[in-house]
Amino acid sequence: MPGYLRKAIIPGGGLTLLVAGLLFAFWPKPVPVSLATAERQPMLVTIEDEGETRVREIYTISSPLSGHVARFGGHVGDSVTAGETVVASIRPTDPTLHDVRTHSELAAAVKAAEAARDLASAQVANAEATHDFAQAEYARGVKLAERGTVSPSVLDRNRMEVRTKEAALMEARAALRVRDFQLQRARMTLRDPAAVWEAANDEPCCVEVRAPVSGTILRVYRESEAVVQAGAPLVEIGDPTDLEIVVDLLSTDAVSVSPRDEVLIDGWGGAQSLKGRVRRIEPYGFTKVSALGIEEQRVKVIVDFTDPPALWQRLGHGYRVVTRIVRWRRADALQVPLSALFRVRGAWSLFKVQDGRARLTRVEVGHMNQRSAEILSGLEAGDSLVLHPSDSIEDGIKVVARDAN
């Protein structure tokens, strides 16, 4: 080869290689993406929220009177029998201690009661004397009347005087008894509280509170001895095998729930979901502060178990569960993950992968749940689509599965 040709070819080949290298370096490469497949499978649309189990009928036993309740000998979980099991024993409260001033006042009250009793005794003696005199006058008048020396009116007046004095005597004796009781009460208030307590313990003084129904002790409000007021709760009794679930739903979700709706119960600790049914939606809402500090309007929904008790017998009162109230179901629905969908001019769209390229596809969406959406048109089962499409994904761009790199 002539030298001048060799000098011309060598620079041209180098330029060609340089251009080829630049083209390879800057040639668009497929964008790695996560892919999913449209599939036909059963689909559920549910309202999911946390719930809590509770005994359907709870009986709270309260103190029938104020007093000193003895230490409770039972424990939570013990069985009780209606009318037999003693759940509380109440005795009167101990007398209060006296300070110096109170003691002096009570001592003065005793002396005043003693003086009043002495006065009443003197009044009784006076009434007895006048009564005896009236009787003697009446006896003399009877004898004189027999002789005809006294008129009948004088005798009648003597008889009335006897009856008047007899009534006065009865009144004086009654007043004396009242003073005796007042003196006794004053002396009792002055007694040493320890002596009063010891005297009271020598006599049966306790009121026993028995279980009104048969069941199991769910809660003990006061296990140790304490002074309680009338109406204070003591224990709770119920049947732990008669459970229901209470769910606090958002009011916006509760309006779409109806009695007899199917409920799936998860998160209770078992390997399988339990089944239940909505029994009642309470007609009033209440405000509840969420974990984020947001005030929400909630409504209580009551759910009954429909599975046999043998499947959920390990649950008890106040256990946490996760409930899913079924609003819609289909045995064969074409579904795609929610992360594949986005809005384009108000319409649902996604990127369908065809021949290695992402194709913007408009779809018609039906029902949605927390994970997937029902596709009514625009896709077929088995179509591949892009998950979590980023700004780098455009219609027609080449894509490759991320795990294929």
pLDDT digits (tens, 9 = 90+) for 200-247: 555 556 788 999 999 999 999 988 888 899 999 999 999 988 999 999
pLDDT at 405 > cutoff 50: no
Residue 228's domain is classified under what CATH number? 2.40.50.100
Residue 56: Cβ within 10 Å count: 13
Same domain assignment for residues 109 and 88 = no
pLDDT at 37 > cutoff 90: yes
- Give the C-alpha distances (Å, rounded to integers) separating 314 from 52, 75, 307, 311: 14, 19, 13, 8
Same domain assignment for residues 219 and 84 = yes
Q: Report the percentage of the chain scoring pLDDT > 90.
A: 48
pLDDT at 196 > cutoff 80: no
Same domain assignment for residues 277 and 188 = no
Residue 115 covered by a domain: yes
Q: What is the pLDDT of residue 158?
A: 79
**pLDDT-derived band at 19, boundaries 50, 70, 90:** low
Q: What's the rounded mean pLDDT across residues 15-25?
A: 56
Same domain assignment for residues 51 and 63 = no
Same domain assignment for residues 262 and 126 = no
Residue 208 covered by a domain: no
Give the global pTM: 0.65
Same domain assignment for residues 289 and 352 = no
Residue 287's domain is classified under what CATH number? 2.40.30.170
Same domain assignment for residues 247 and 273 = yes
pLDDT at 150 > cutoff 80: no
Residue 377's domain is classified under what CATH number? 2.40.420.20
| Final residue before a domain boundary, out of 313, 330, 347 | 330
Residue 398 covered by a domain: yes
| Final residue before a domain boundary, out of 176, 201, 226 | 201
Same domain assignment for residues 341 and 297 = no
Residue 7 covered by a domain: no
Q: Which of 16-20, 117-121, 293-297, 369-373 has the lowest mean pLDDT?
A: 16-20
Into how many domains does the chain fold? Answer: 4
Q: Which of 71-80, 90-99, 167-176 has the lowest mean pLDDT?
A: 90-99
Residue 396 covered by a domain: yes
Same domain assignment for residues 185 and 113 = yes
Residue 282 covered by a domain: yes
pLDDT tens for each residue of 324-348: 999 999 999 999 999 999 999 989 9
Same domain assignment for residues 171 and 35 = no
Same domain assignment for residues 164 and 225 = no
- Domain region containing 343: 31-43+332-404
| Final residue before a domain boundary, out of 307, 330, 353 | 330
Same domain assignment for residues 247 and 160 = no
Please state the three-class secondary structure of the chain as a single string: CCHHHHHHHHHHHHHHHHHHHHHHHHCCCCEEEEEEECEEEEEEEEEEEEEEEEECCEEEEECCCCEEECCCCCCCCCEECCCCCEEEEEECCCCCCCCHHHHHHHHHHHHHHHHHHHHHHHHHHHHHHHHHHHHHHHHHHHHHHHHCCCCHHHHHHHHHHHHHHHHHHHHHHHHHHHHHHHHHHHHHHHCCHHHHHHHHHCCCCCEEEECCCCEEEEEECCCCCEEECCCCEEEEEECCCCEEEEEEEEHHHHCCCCCCCEEEEECCCCCCCEEEEEEEEEEEEEEEECCCCCEEEEEEEEEEECCCHHHHCCCCCCCEEEEEEEEEEEEEEEEEEHHHCEEECCEEEEEEEECCEEEEEECEEEEECCCEEEEEECCCCCCEEEECCCCCCCCCCEEEEHHHC
pLDDT at 11 > cutoff 80: no
8 Å CB contact between 36 and 340:
yes
Residue 133 covered by a domain: yes
pLDDT tens for each residue of 348-366: 999 999 988 999 999 999 9
